[in-house]
Structure 1
Amino acid sequence: MWCRLLLLVVALVSPVTSDITVPVTNHWNGGFQASACFPITEEMHSWTVTLTFDQPLTSLNAYTADVKETLEGGKVFVLHNKDWNKEEHVGDKLCLDFQGHGTGDIAPVITGTIHAGDGTAAPNTAASTTQHSTSSNNMTPTTHTASTARTTQTAHVTTKPPTHSTTASGPTPAPVYNPNGYPATMTLIREWSEGFTGELVFYPGEDLLGWVVNITFSSPVTGVEAGLGQFYKKSPDGRVFTMVSMPDQGVFKAGQKMRMVFISHFLGNGKAPTATAVLYNMGKDTWKVNPAVTTDTSKYNYNDLLYKSILFYEAQRSGKLPANNRIPYRGDSALNDTGDNHEDLTGGWYDAGDDIKFNFPMAYSVTVLAWGYIMYPEAYKSAGQEDYLLDSIKWPLDYLLKCHTKDEELYVQVGNATKDHAFWGPPEKMIQKRPSFRINSTKPGTDVAMETAAAFAAGSIAFKAKDPSYSTTLLNHAKKLWDFGNKYRELYSNSLPGVSPFYRSNNYTDELCWGSLWLYQATNDLTYLAEAEKYFDPHPASEFSWDDKTVANQVLLYKLRKLDTYKMAVENTFKYWFPGGSSHYTPKGLAYSMEWGSLRHAANLALVALVAADNGIHTLEYRHWAMCQIHYAIGDTGFSYVIGFGDKYPLRPHHRSSSCPFLPAHCGPPMLNLTEPNVHTLYGALVSGPGPDDSYSDVRTNYLYNDVACDYNAGFQSAVAALKSLWLRSEHPEQQNNAKCPYVSGGSDTIIG
């Protein structure tokens, strides 16, 4: 479990005592979340917080303060400030959110005390033992070497940078991150009766991609106006002012002098104050994720791929994030998403590198991810990712349930795609109410209704053992949506022209078959199977995607019915895809169907091939081909197209939130066009992929090659789960001496010829 510790400085009307009772804001089996807010009643140049619990904890996580001591067997924790957040002023409020771990479903009684200085308020005990507080999580081997200093409330952020190891600063450039910032002393340029002009010169020893400057005056001033930077806030006493970078002002190279000239006014008749300032880099994130542990000897670490792909979906979350959010640069967002009648439409996933919620591809992604779990649960269990996978798909399922507002009504999109695509910034900055689009009996959408029904049905199967009540809820909604989609026939993009430019549907008969197949698997009601067989399409499929489920229908029908008609359809699809068929192959072996999302299409077909192989269709051949397609994506060419996996991978995905600096520094179109790597690593994301000649351009503006999307990872992740399952069963091509890539043909059951 991860935690978030947030620091928010706000003005209070009057100071109160610093001894407080700390409320528990959330709790679960094995842990809890709490928030300790201390009013500051004296000037502090460093501080210590002591937290006392009525029961022992096994660990406490607080990433923007240092846990220095654990006393009384885990009942008392002593925390010290970081270097960058040590200054607190009278009238401020210091809020620390933290997460504790213990035994059972715990909600302890907590008291907190804050003291100025490095000293601690030792507990009243004659024999207390001290131990260093550590935390471990074998399921999520992520190392927090950085954290964001932000609140989880949209538009309420702090002026403190992420925390890292300390290095010296000064006029000599050193391209090493400095968490203490870069100091400067104001030079007085001009003074008059009520104001003055000052200059600050900083020498950052690292590249800046967004910054914050805190200016501290020796006496109060009424304002700061600067050509470089925008005023963000000031302290209640008028002595500390915070300036933040604008999108076109945030970039400075290591060694480049940064000069800020400003005008300010002081109160009454007097002399201009002196001032010092500190520049903080908000465009540097040293959060690192360690590879997942594996004992497999396979060529690639499938555990790590599953782990990081799930992290990618967590980075795509919209709405109010949970206490166990594992993505430190993400916060609450789009909390004003509502329907036409004020229905709550918060939650779900942002589709790609944008901030839109497109339900058609979202529901498809959930179905495919659930399919991979239903087929290969042992892969997730062995990798230690089962609970995380279920938590991952529950997030969009909960949102889709909200969208099903009536039996014959379903919201299918939130956001104006044209306007939102024009915004280059983190979703946390979106505070406007966004338009929503819904289908109903007068504006039907058979395709999206059936796809959402499929997602609910697949989800009901996935959750049946672990959460029967939730499984029942999903299945009830699946049945009603299936009835709705079957009763009113129309493409949703015809009913709702506003959704057409981005995810326009070309057919709905494949969704009629797909939705019916998933309802049958969830209910065993032969009515659904009969309906699925009505809409069977025997033609070779040129893709498996959010818009075309033809080949997935073929393989599911064969799995369920074992009829040669369905087997032949699957074979014909793969004759189309295999070498010698209609598909183009790159020189290094990628089955290449189209430029935009080339890896997505190959990975999706790899998943279907693996499912077909597990059902006895050309088992060795299909597994061999599928493995080569996935291995192409993860490193066989000497480059991994999965961000954060391997030694060489994309650094500049077309993705807003990971490209932007930490708040409150501004983002914008200038950040899109920078050549520097994204500020944050978008772990686990599969990018679109190379061109037909294996060429690849790691350029943020090139969405054809460097886009990411929820549907890109869905088939890929489930195919990885299938390969992991094969390894566990000792049936992997590597274990069968049938693993040579690039694929030409292989295995004793070849269909090429």
Structure 2
Amino acid sequence: MALSSAVRLICLLLLVVANPPPCSAGHDYGDALRKSILFFEGQRSGKLPPDQRLKWRRDSALRDGAHEGVDLTGGYYDAGDNVKFGFPMAFTTTLLAWSVIDFGRSMGPELNNAVKAVKWATDYLLKATAVPNTIYVQVGDAFSDHNCWERPEDMDTRRTVYKVDTAHPGSDVAGETAAALAAGSIVFRSRDPAYSSLLLNRAVSVFEFADKHRGAYSSSLHSAVCPFYCDVNGYQDELLWGAAWLHKASRRREYREYIKTNEEVLGAGETINEFGWDNKHAGINVLISKEVAMGKANYLQSFKQNADSFICSLLPGTSRPQIQYSPGGLIFKAGGSNMQHVTSLSFLLLAYSNYISHSRQLVPCGKISATPAQLRRLAKRQVDYILGDNPKKMSYMVGYGNHYPLRIHHRASSVPSVASHPAHIGCKAGSRYYLTPNPNPNILVGAVVGGPNITDDFPDSRPFFQESEPTTYINAPLVGLLGYFWAHPNPT
């Protein structure tokens, strides 16, 4: 006789959420945290500071923006290429800031390095938004860049500058940039009040531009940004996301009213289990739910309901639509760079568990309810999988543990450094380093790659870029997760 549906759901939930993996021997979350932040130094563009710790990297792209008469040096390369894509960079900034805001108290001596990682990004976003009603959203021609395999220090591809403005709107990238600046302002509120005010004031003006001149940057700049960071989800979620962060940073009623007024128009209840650089819906619901959970904004109860539905979609066997898991227990979504979903969704699990635990709430999922501790354990299970508790017994963070990816899809890591090979290495001359089966000569410490496929298999090979390429937006939420589990290695 088959189990009743309620019993079956409970069994599935206990199987994945409550039971620790049998291979787990504990992890050094402090070491992983340090390395996850160090990774961002390997992604820096521009003039490197004296305290740069990854010494095999050198200055690069020192004339970005010069042909346009603007200074666009600095910022981060998004992944294993040499283009500065503003959309994912802004999302990375928002999640790095959120990590510090919610979990900075758990980061110990690494908090200062995490704050530096945020500032490297916000300094660049201030440059990119210095001209009113204009945002410089990309530096570098992606097609010519992807046609080369060269380290950023030798870069000789076109550093074309792309922007959105009143005639060519980009509410998605502008809304995300406003969110990043607002979140950054919270990070620096007590550390540097003048800088914090500058970030918040800029966030206000950028959001006004995003809302007044509505349109998708994928339409305005289609040939430049697609298919790389084409916004297929639309710009509506970024407007709500930007307003939510501006409300959190400023406490101004106008943003609270904007959220409530535009909730249905901008689709707050759509695609509730999506969160990443392209889709902010789950993040919006979780972020706003903190206010509801603390009893401060009951009129926004619908966001809390959406957040509950999102959480239930992650807990095995509790609802539909259901997130897919690999046989080894990893969250899996079809498409490239699966680890971006693993870290961002796990971050929301952890953040939400903290929000509802303060008000002693549970998450109603049909006939069962999930506790904050169960959410934390599921998030920890994902982090532990990344660090080595998986069928391949492999850490997917470069430099962590004894067995990690050696041939990551990353130009700077795979081409000899300037120190070891001072002579220029041209566009096509680097191809031999791409094709060699040898390990990368430069260890990009802390880089988390795209990860294994749905069967938990991983090809440690550069040409398999969906699995072997690291990105800044994989690491950004992981910083917060690792900080928390460093302080709370056995969550209850």
Q: Report the TM-score when normalising by structure 2.
A: 0.85
Offset from partner CA, 1:563-598 (integer Å, 9 cap, x none): 442222112112222222522211111121124212
Corresponding residue for 2:331? Answer: 591
8 A contact 2:406–2:440 mirrored in 1: yes
Report deviation, 1:308: 0.6
8 A contact 1:539–1:572 mirrored in 2: no
Within a 5 Å distance, the mapping from 1:493-504 to structure 2 comes to 493-497=218-222, 498-504=224-230
Report deviation, 1:624: 1.3
Q: 1:456 aligns with which of 170, 181, 187?
A: 181
Corresponding residue for 1:551? Answer: 282
Determine whether 1:647 maps to 2:387: no
Report deviation, 1:541: 2.5
Offset from partner CA, 1:487-543 (integer Å, 9 cap, x none): 010001111122122101121111111100111111110111221232361245242
8 A contact 1:603–1:715 mirrored in 2: yes
- Cα 1:313/1:544, change in 2 over 3 Å: same
CA distance in 1, matches of 2:197, 2:97: 16
Determine whether 1:724 maps to 2:482: no
Corresponding residue for 2:348? Answer: 608
Within a 5 Å distance, the mapping from 1:566-715 to structure 2 comes to 566-580=303-317, 581=320, 582-616=322-356, 617=363, 618-637=371-390, 638-663=393-418, 664-665=422-423, 666=425, 668-715=430-477
Offset from partner CA, 1:167-214 (integer Å, 9 cap, x none): xxxxxxxxxxxxxxxxxxxxxxxxxxxxxxxxxxxxxxxxxxxxxxxx
Secondary structure class of the residue paired with 2:227: helix
What is the one-letter code of the residue matched to 1:642? M
Within a 5 Å distance, the mapping from 1:340-359 to structure 2 comes to 341-359=68-86
Corresponding residue for 2:124? Answer: 399
Corresponding residue for 1:311? Answer: 38
CA distance in 2, matches of 1:577, 1:668: 42
CA distance in 2, matches of 1:669, 1:540: 40
Determine whether 1:419 maps to 2:144: yes
Report deviation, 1:600: 1.7
What is the one-letter code of the residue matched to 1:327? L
8 A contact 2:139–2:160 mirrored in 1: yes
8 A contact 2:417–2:442 mirrored in 1: no
Rg larger in structure: 1
CA distance in 2, matches of 1:720, 1:662: 30
Corresponding residue for 1:286? Answer: none
Report deviation, 1:298: 9.0
Q: Report the TM-score when normalising by structure 1.
A: 0.56
Offset from partner CA, 1:423-446 (integer Å, 9 cap, x none): 101100025661100011000110
Report deviation, 1:670: 1.1
CA distance in 1, matches of 2:373, 2:189: 32
What is the one-letter code of the residue matched to 1:425? E
Q: 1:437 aligns with which of 137, 143, 162?
A: 162
CA distance in 1, matches of 2:66, 2:212: 24
8 A contact 2:398–2:446 mirrored in 1: yes
Structure (1 or 2) with the greater helix fraction: 2
Q: Which runs of 5+ in 1 are unaligned?
A: 1-296, 737-753
CA distance in 2, matches of 1:339, 1:509: 33
What is the one-letter code of the residue matched to 1:561? V
8 A contact 1:337–1:433 mirrored in 2: no
8 A contact 2:93–2:118 mirrored in 1: yes
CA distance in 1, matches of 2:336, 2:449: 10
8 A contact 1:338–1:433 mirrored in 2: no
CA distance in 1, matches of 2:123, 2:165: 20
CA distance in 2, matches of 1:309, 1:613: 23
8 A contact 2:144–2:157 mirrored in 1: no
What is the one-letter code of the residue matched to 2:327? P
CA distance in 2, matches of 1:578, 1:561: 22
CA distance in 2, matches of 1:386, 1:467: 15
8 A contact 1:311–1:684 mirrored in 2: yes
Structure (1 or 2) with the greater strand fraction: 1
Corresponding residue for 2:61? Answer: 334
CA distance in 2, matches of 1:662, 1:629: 33
Moved more, 526-535 or 545-554: 526-535
Secondary structure class of the residue paired with 2:226: helix
CA distance in 2, matches of 1:428, 1:602: 32
- Cα 1:420/1:432, change in 2 over 3 Å: closer
Taking only the aligned residue pairs, the percentage that are identical comes to: 38
What is the one-letter code of the residue matched to 2:99? G
Offset from partner CA, 1:209-255 (integer Å, 9 cap, x none): xxxxxxxxxxxxxxxxxxxxxxxxxxxxxxxxxxxxxxxxxxxxxxx
CA distance in 2, matches of 1:644, 1:471: 34
Determine whether 1:373 maps to 2:100: yes
RMSD: 1.7
CA distance in 1, matches of 2:346, 2:158: 40
| More relative contact order, 1 or 2 (CA 8 Å, 6+ apart) | 2
8 A contact 1:559–1:615 mirrored in 2: yes
What is the one-letter code of the residue matched to 1:583? I
CA distance in 2, matches of 1:481, 1:377: 27
Q: Which runs of 5+ in 2 are unaligned?
A: 1-23, 357-362, 364-370
Corresponding residue for 1:287? Answer: none
Secondary structure class of the residue paired with 2:488: helix
CA distance in 2, matches of 1:714, 1:608: 12
